Structure 1
Amino acid sequence: MRKIAGVVGIIGMLAAVPAEARSLAAIKQDGTLRVGMTGDYAPYSLRLPDGSLKGADVTMAGELAKVLGVKVEIVPTTWKTLKDDLLADRYDVAMGGVTVTPDRASVADFSVPVLTDGKRPIVRCADKARFVTVKDIDKPEVRVVVNPGGTNQRFADANFPHASVRVFPDNRAIFQEIAQNRADVMVTDGTEVDYQSRVNPGVLCPATVPDAFNKNDKAYWMTRDPALKAAVDEWLTKTLKSGAYARALAKAAE
């Protein structure tokens, strides 16, 4: 049994090692920056019915590629496979509302933070005063809906052991589960709560919580190469200081 456990441990460690991750020099030589995006997290990135993408980080991906002197290629990924896809060298940088976590930081580099956000509940407007604390939500009769594989599911797993939690596979359609009374609440990042409330006026509302349930940074997540991180950080620092990112986010949220 010890030998088996040892082999499993070695396999696990090997699985966490990036497969020949590309350096900035290799990206420039190839002429293409591969950007991983889920396409399901407005206003950062959202895949439209015609297959095109819109969002603040879609714009930012193009701007970063220009600064690096290469073209951009958007690589589809999911929150569940985000880490595996990066480690398998399917993309160079993940963008689109990626939360900084210790697990992710242990295998790849994060840029300087793009913004700070936190988990808040989104509910039907009639229930906005009903679900204002974690305790209000964590009850057997409360139907929580969550998308798979990311920090939303981790938060639900950790904080709602008594609620009826259902994993819904499509983050683009998940909010209609609440609107159509098939679920009561979803806890997600405040930026997404505010966006979905704006596009579903009078139907979906932010719960009247006094503050977010937690705080977390959003950043760009990239393969480990000091030159790549330095280039991304230099560009992003200037972009944030100029207000270009804030303008792109505001436009995407319209």
Structure 2
Amino acid sequence: MRRRTALPALTVALATAAAGTTVVATAGDRPGGPPSERTLLDQVRARGVLRVCTTGDYRPFSHRERETGAYEGIDIDMAENLADSLAVEVDFVPTTWGELLDDLTGGACDLSMGGVSVTLDRAREAYFSVPYLVDGKAPIVRCEDAERYRTLEEIDRPGVRVIVNPGGTNERFVQENIDEATVVPHPDNTTIFDEILAGRADVMITDASETRYQSSLHPELCAVNPDDPFTFAEKAYLLPRGDEEFKEYVDQWLHLALNDGTYAGYEDDWLD
């Protein structure tokens, strides 16, 4: 059963204090002014809904059930916790990796959550929260092939089929590092690992956190060197650029959640 860890009273105090402040860093308007002049922190509380863009295709962070449309995962639990801290409801807005940034900057949602990697391209258009996870790219393969595909040199060879989902950092990594192997695009990240199991692909290079989780779901698949990935990366939440008060609140909430057991509890629920 997934736990729900209540945030300390300090978080509630932060929400109250932020809503009652008389100085808005970005616009210089009072929270009591017209809604269009308020910081997003005040708009969310006035609206009563926190809108969260998420892809729903990236376990263990964000997964959408096909039959019911319900979302689940570590960052889904965290989104609900953030909404609770603001005393509002949460509304999950479907997006894709290719549209994630445009949906946020276009105002479709208040922030993006669900295993989003920190990249400079994204940082030029939006803010990132403080990071909550260190990660990096690593291979996942059929277990009988684990000794064959330990390095990029062993992967990037003629005859090797590297499968990749489009629109995100996995695709960029493959484009920048795979020249000799055959690249197999696959549009559905929820079924991509079945392609390796079925023998229609040999390797997927994705975040080490995902390789660990998928290998726990599929004992026939093995994560290769997830503790020594090919790259360094961090995961964080993507926020609208320019809204300092909203970012400050999210950072403070996340700092508390990372240190009071809230995030660890959700992570244990999913990774165990």
Q: TM-score, normalised by structure 2?
A: 0.83
Equivalences for residues 71-82 of structure 1 within 5 A: 71-82=89-100
Q: Does 1:198 align with 2:216?
A: yes
How far residue 23 of structure 1 moved from its aligned partner, in angstroms, is 1.7
2:205 and 2:247 map into 1 onto residues whose CA distance is 31
Aligned-residue Cα RMSD (Å) equals 1.6
Q: Distance in 2 between matches of 1:137 and 1:45?
A: 28
Indicate how the Cα distance of structure 1 residues 209 and 189 shifts in structure 2: closer, same or farther if over 3 A, else same: closer
AA partner of residue 66 (structure 1) = D
Spell out, residue by residue over 1:77-108, the C-alpha distance to the aligned partner (whole angstroms, 9 max, x if none).
Answer: 01011111112111111001000000111111
Residue 141 of structure 1: how far off its partner (Å): 0.7
Task: Using the TM superposition, give the Cα deviation of residue 213 of structure 1 relative to its aligned residue in structure 2, in angstroms.
Answer: 0.2
In the alignment, what sits opposite 1:217?
234
Provide the residue aligned with 2:107 in structure 1: 89
Distance (Å, rounded) in 1 between the aligned partners of 2:38 and 2:140: 38
Residues 178/72 of structure 1: CA separation in 2 closer, same or farther (3 Å cut): same
> Is 2:137 the partner of 1:101?
no
What is the match of residue 12 of structure 1?
none
Q: SS at the partner of 1:74?
A: strand
Following TM superposition, the consecutive aligned residue runs of length 4 or more in structure 1 with deviations greater than 6 angstroms are none
Q: Which runs of 5+ in 1 are unaligned?
A: 1-19
Aligned match of 1:171 in 170, 183, 189? Answer: 189
Q: Is residue 2:248 matched to residue 1:230?
A: yes
Asked if 2 retains the 8 angstrom alpha-carbon contact of 1:132 and 1:209, the reply is no
For the residues of structure 1 that align with 2:83 and 2:72, how far apart are their CA atoms?
A: 16
Distance 1:54 1:69 in 2: 20
- On the 8 A contact 2:160/2:182 being kept in 1, the answer is yes
CA distance in 2, matches of 1:185, 1:21: 48
- 1:124 corresponds to which residue? 142
Q: Partners in 1 of 2:38 and 2:177 — Cα distance?
A: 35
Deviations 1:154-197 (A, max 9, x none): 00000002110011000000000100000000000011000100
Which of the numbers 254, 257, 264 marks the counterpart of 1:246? 264
Answer whether contact 2:39 2:245 (CA < 8 A) is retained.
no
Q: Which residue of 2 aligns with 1:35?
A: 52
The CA deviation at 1:21 is 11
Residue 24 (structure 1) shift = 1.6
Q: For residue 38 of structure 1, what is the amino acid of its counterpart?
A: T
Matched-pair identity in %: 49
Q: For residue 145 of structure 1, what is the aligned residue in structure 2?
A: 163
Q: Which residue, 65, 77, 85 being the options, matches 1:59?
A: 77
Task: Quote the Cα distance in structure 2 between the aligned partners of 1:211 and 1:196.
Answer: 17
Residue 45 in structure 1 maps to residue 62 in structure 2: yes
* Structure 2 gap ranges (5+): 1-36
The one-letter code sitting in structure 1 at the alignment partner of 2:233 is: N
